[in-house]
Amino acid sequence: MAENHGNTPAAWTAVLVSLVGFVVGAIGMSLHPLNWPLFWIGTVVVLAGGVVFLVMAKMGLHEAGH
C-alpha cells in the first residue's frame, strides 16, 4: 500500500461525510414506522462523500506531505 493510504485530508473528509450519512440513514431505519425519506437522505450523503473525495483528490489533497 501507499505510505499515505488513508492518511490524507481527502480520505479523512470523505470518511467523515460518509459516516454522517450512515448515521442519518440508520436513524431513518430505526424509527417506527420507517422513515424512508431520512434513509434516502443518508444514502445521498454517503454518495456525496465519494464525490467530496474525488474533488479533493483532484485538488491535490490526496498526496503525501499534506
pTM for this predicted structure: 0.85
Cα dihedral sign, 29-20-15-49? positive
pLDDT given at position 3: 66
Instruction: Give the chain's end-to-end CA distance (angstroms, integer).
Output: 18
pLDDT digits (tens, 9 = 90+) for 5-52: 668 999 999 999 999 999 999 999 999 999 999 999 999 999 999 999
DSSP label at residue 49? H
Nearest Cα to Cα of residue 27 among 16, 18, 39? 39
Cell numbers at 46, concatenated: 454517503
